[in-house]
């Protein structure tokens, strides 16, 4: 029996209509849908009338146990579609371990592209984003200062993820390590309460102290403004 195929399917980051025709068709044809939270994924599947033969849980806390079972299904010839709760698997979401083991086993891994919070915000950025570094979530403790210092010296933009509970702290740290920079902050992208903030680090601090900070955040931090030779020259 030939191996099945593992499909990495991007799902909406908020608005359920942000899904490709190919993603819907792939989920309809899949024998098995592996997902972070079956309750979240069933909402999407129900909207599009998708009823897979089997839906199983695969997340960061059960990867060691779920990967062998998924590999067995693939080796038996089943078509498996992996989705995260929102966006593209592996990008700050579970999935990399499964991809690695599938590749080792000679199982085809096929990308089904679609929504990503990173590209969503980059597409509406008002300063150059032709080159960027994706940091994802900064570590809470060890290595955090080092990453912030590296960001401060970077000559291109940096994309960050942050949570509701740490966004104000991150803005304070950006002020300390990076100084006054242009920012684009996206909150609850594609959802009902979507917010796009454009301004400097200090302006963002003031704005978000006075406005709701509930939700998921994506930030694009501009590089430092280059000083011209004339500006650097002392009179």
Are 135 and 209 within one domain? yes
For the cut 50, the answer to whether the pLDDT of residue 232 exceeds it is: no
CATH number of the CATH domain containing 129: 3.30.950.10
Residues contacting residue 202 through CB under 8 Å, at least 6 positions apart: 175, 180
Residues 102/127, Cβ–Cβ less than 8 Å: no
CATH number of the CATH domain containing 39: 3.40.1010.10
Are 45 and 32 within one domain? yes
* Residue 226: inside a domain: no
- Per residue in 101-119, pLDDT (tens digit) is 999 999 999 999 999 999 9
The whole-number pLDDT of residue 234 equals 38
* Residue 12: inside a domain: yes
- Per residue in 142-177, pLDDT (tens digit) is 999 999 999 999 999 999 999 999 999 999 999 999
* Residue 232: inside a domain: no
What rounded mean pLDDT belongs to the chain? 92
Residues contacting residue 177 through CB under 8 Å, at least 6 positions apart: 145, 148, 149, 151, 152
Are 56 and 136 within one domain? no
Number of domains in the chain: 2
Distance of CA 38 to the CA centre of its chain: 19
The stretches of the chain forming alpha helices (DSSP H) are 21-29, 38-47, 63-75, 96-104, 117-122, 144-153, 167-178, 201-210, 229-232
* Residue 77: inside a domain: yes
Instruction: Tell me whether strands 6-9 and 157-162 are parallel, antiparallel or unpaired.
Output: unpaired
Q: Which two tokens stand for residue 204?
A: 């963002």
Are 111 and 171 within one domain? no
Distance of CA 195 to the CA centre of its chain: 17
Residues 145/175, Cβ–Cβ less than 8 Å: no
Are 111 and 143 within one domain? no
* Residue 229: inside a domain: no
- Per residue in 23-43, pLDDT (tens digit) is 999 999 999 999 999 999 999
Look up the domain containing 214 and give its range. 118-221
The whole-number pLDDT of residue 227 equals 52
SS3 34: strand
């Amino acid at each position: 029996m030939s191996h099945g195929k593992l499909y990495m399917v991007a799902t909406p980051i908020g608005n359920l209509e942000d899904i490709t025709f190919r993603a819907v068709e792939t989920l309809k044809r899949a024998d098995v849908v592996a997902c972070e939270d079956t309750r979240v994924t069933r909402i999407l599947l129900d909207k599009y009338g998708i009823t897979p033969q089997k839906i199983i849980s695969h997340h960061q806390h059960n990867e060691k146990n779920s990967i062998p079972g998924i590999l067995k299904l693939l080796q038996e010839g089943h078509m498996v579609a992996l989705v995260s709760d929102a966006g593209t698997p592996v990008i700050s979401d579970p999935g990399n371990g499964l991809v690695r083991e599938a590749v080792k086993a000679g199982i085809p891994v096929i990308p089904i592209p679609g929504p990503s919070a990173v590209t969503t915000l980059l597409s509406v950025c008002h300063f150059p984003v032709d080159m960027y570094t994706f940091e994802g979530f900064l570590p809470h403790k060890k290595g955090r200062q080092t990453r912030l210092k590296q960001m401060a010296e970077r000559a291109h933009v940096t994309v960050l993820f942050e949570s509701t509970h740490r966004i104000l702290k991150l803005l304070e740290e950006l002020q300390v390590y990076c100084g006054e920079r242009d920012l684009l902050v996206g909150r609850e992208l594609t959802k009902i309460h979507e917010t796009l903030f454009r301004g400097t680090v200090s302006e963002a601090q003031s704005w978000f102290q006075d406005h709701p900070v509930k939700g998921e955040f994506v930030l694009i931090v501009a590089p430092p403004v280059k000083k011209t030779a004339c500006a650097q020259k002392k009179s």
